Amino acid sequence: MFGRDLELVWGKRKFLNYFCICGVGAGLIEVLIKTIPVLFGSLPSVIPTIGASGAIFGILMANAILFPDRRIWLIPLPVTIPMRPYVAVMGAIEFFSTLGSGGDNVSHICHLGGMLVGYLYLRRGSFLYNVRNTVTDWQHRRNRRRFEVYINKHKKEPPSRPDNWVN
């Protein structure tokens, strides 16, 4: 529901890159948070984490940034709210679920990590934004050079030979 709009705006390749970066980044944040107890002499958490929910929360963050005023329906209630407050409430729910995590077997840190990575990827001036633009700028320069070589190669030749004219 939320990813389709991003795919239409960005295209399939950029959307897939964003999805994978959010998922992998959320997983790395999860691993880092799970290894913190090792620094204090405790045993690390051995509960496995699976799923793509970190990437889904990254998609929610992208929708909040790119389409902040888009209205969505809250399914059980006949109420519509803008995207930005919806994502803020979802982030707050995940944050407070992390603080009071009991035995719900949900990786709330992974959800928050996906939102954080998505935000950093889209935020101007961040490391991920600079890396993304460096690659895009390099591709643009490479394509420009290829086009200039093609134009210079065909600039000297006339469009057709004078003897091929038909009267």
Which sign does the torsion angle of CA 54, 59, 65, 68 carry? negative
Name the pLDDT band for 28 (thresholds 50, 70, 90): very high
Picking from 62, 54, 53, the residue whose alpha carbon sits closest to that of residue 25 is 54
DSSP 49: -
pTM exceeds 0.85 = no
- Strand ranges (E), the chain: 71-74, 79-82
Residues in CB range of 72: below 8 A, 6 or more apart: 80, 81, 82, 83, 86
Provide the token pair at 120: 């950093």
Provide the token pair at 47: 């509960």
Tell me the C-alpha distance between 3 and 9, whole Å: 10
Residues in CB range of 5: below 8 A, 6 or more apart: 63, 66, 67, 70
SS3 156: coil
Provide the token pair at 104: 């719900």
pLDDT digits (tens, 9 = 90+) for 34-87: 888 888 888 877 777 888 889 999 999 999 998 989 999 888 888 899 999 999
- The residues that bridge with 72 in the sheet, in sequence order, are 81
pLDDT score, position 26? 93
Does residue 16 register a pLDDT over 90? yes
